Structures are given as C-alpha cells and as structure tokens.
Structure 1
Amino acid sequence: MITIPGQLAIRTIVGRNGDFNVGRLTTSIGEFVVKDPQLDQYQEGKYDGQFVVTEIKPSSYSHRGRFVMEVRAHLGGMTLDDLDTLTQEDTDALDDRERDPIEEDVQQTASKPASTPVTKPKPTVQDDMTPFGMEKAVETPADTPSASADEVLFGTLWPLGPVVKIDPTVGRQLIRDQSKRLGELGYELDFRSQQWSLKEDAEAGQTV
C-alpha cells in the first residue's frame, strides 16, 4: 500500500443500469484505471489530491464486441484538494463504451460457489426476561412494510442528519441508490470532506 499524489479524472457514462462513473488515475509511477464503487458519488471532472493505492493489477474483459486489457489501481482512500472540468483529451481517454462495473460484480458473485447455511438448533427453554403479565416488545426490522423506503435504503444512517457520510464498503448499487436519493433530498457532496451536506435552501423545508 502506498500514498501518492496524482490526478483522478472521472467520467460519467450512461449505461443500461443507469449512470455510472469510471476513473483514470495519473501519477508519477504511471496511469491506472480506477473502478472503485466510491467513485459513483462524485460528479464528472478532474480531482487533484493524495491517493492511497492498495493494489495495482492487470484486468481484462470482453464487452460490446471488443476485448479490453487494462491496469487497475484499487484505492483504500483519497484526500482531494481541487476540481476541474474534463478536457476533450480526458474524455477520449475514458471511453464511453466501458462496461458498467456493476455487471462485473454480478458476474464475480455468480461464479463463487454457494455456501451452505448453518442451521442453529432451537433452544429447549425459552429465554424470556419479560415481567409476568406484560407483553413482550416486538422489534420491527428495517425492511418491514412499516418502515419507510428511505429508512430501508439508508439503514444505520437513518434518520438523516444535516451531514451524511456514505459507507464506501456497502456495495456499488447501494452507493448509487443512496447518492441519487441524497441529491433528491437536497444534499450535495463536498468532495474535500467526502460528506453529503444539506443545502441551506433545502434545509429550511426538509422533513426527512
């Protein structure tokens, strides 16, 4: 793992599963493709900063009648300092025929052998500490019909405060869905702090 200064160019591509982001990291030791899930939070542009590179390795795939070989850098974190718009050269370097990384995730998951669930034996004695004559409280899981759609979507982040930080490890699709919903609710991403903040004009009338 190394921390290195560089510039990350992010391009937004319209795919069949919706918009997704791909990146190209330019550093003193080379240029690398970046397809980490956390990129889907950011707007298109060029970001200067410090990047924690945990792994660099070759990757290949076939998509839309072409075979692609690339060297990917996997990021463990980044500290971003500045944002600029993409040039035509940047746009050309990030081909809009890229495969949506979520399709790769699905393919990798499908290729893994299914694990056999372990069934725990039921206890013979009921462990109930509820006082006699009182009804036992029933906890309502987040995905029950009584929970709101936003509560299910955001899970432990709910209820939302004025500042929200998405967990970059929750999975690519969930990051996309949470980012999209935060934008609809009047939040915007501060790329320096990597947190979503409720805009002042939305905060006055927000009821989340």
Structure 2
Amino acid sequence: MASGGPEIEQLIQLMARLPGLGPRSARRAVLHLIKKKDQLMLPLSAALDRAVLAVRTCEVCGNIDTMSPCSICSDPRRGESGMLIVVEDVADLWALERAGVGQVRYHVLGGVLSPLDGVGPDDLNLDALIARAPDYAEIVLAMNATVEGQTTAHYITDRLDGSGVKVSRLAHGVPVGGELDYLDEGTLSQALKARTQI
C-alpha cells in the first residue's frame, strides 16, 4: 500500500500509463519529481499546461505540431521529390525526420489494420491518403515489419491499384551492423529475396 495521500497515488497511476513505465518505474519517477519539485515538477506542469492548449493534429498529414497545417506540410520545399511516405504513427514520422530522409511529405495512418483488436479501414486515416495519392509520383509504405503492418500495406496497395501512382515499401533485411547468427529466419529470408547487386 502506497502512502503519501491520494494526490500522489493518482500521479503514480497516471505515470504508470505511459509507455515503458510500470508501477515501480512510475513510483520512482514521481518520487524524483517530488524531490525536485522546483526544478522539475513545476516546469513540467507548466509545460504540460501549455502543450494542452498549443498542440494540434495536422489536418493534412496527421502529424502533431503547434499549427495546422504542420510545419512539414507548410514548407514549400517539401514534396519537390514527388514522394509521400506513409507511416503508422507520428513516432515513425519523427524517426524518419531524425534520419534526414529528405524533403518529402508524410501521411500518418494512426495505426494499422488489426481485426483482432477491432481496427478496420474506417478507423485509420486511409480515405485522406487515397485522396492525396494522385498528387504524388511515388507512395512509400513505411509500415513496420509486423503481420498487421504488412496487411495494412497490402490493403493500401490494393486501394491504389489502377491510380497510376508508383507504390513502394521500405527494404527489409539485415540491419547495418547486424550479425547473421542473431537474426531470425524471416529476416534472413527477406534479406536474401531483396538482395541487390554491388
């Protein structure tokens, strides 16, 4: 049983809902915040209040920013490549931006098809993607290499069939610095199928 009052217990429970934090990690984080109340807790609280008021979901691509359309969609240099990269989540978009993939535009689906979890085509940002597709020379499907991700990629490919837009996907296979002995059979098989000439 935790001590310290209902406010602290509620804070621990809320922190435990964050990805990567279980009850013990949340408890440690809350105790650290309380110990550093002036240096961490008060600025964090103020930052959360500001974020609640300022954060928007981009009406064009689904990115999260403080304006809509977002800074990526508002950048006139973006899209000169004619490439639209489709991602499952905003975290994937941010990862590609950190990697410096170029002056491209994005489309965030908001998840993947998963009948077992009750997620169907109507639950994703698919209709907006189909409407945007003719404006681009190439659609790159950057889905995770999961069953749900690949199912979603196939569904999108079928929906875009006949549109005249080139559809491609990210390469799958041996990661840079990876050792063959540590890779699963599916990864090795995919790497062999997607081999390139050197």
Shorter-chain TM-score tier: under 0.3
Greater RCO, 1 or 2 (C-alpha within 8 Å, sep 6+)? 1
Task: Provide the TM-score with structure 1 as the length reference.
Answer: 0.22
The structure where helix makes up a greater share of residues is 2
The structure where strand makes up a greater share of residues is 1
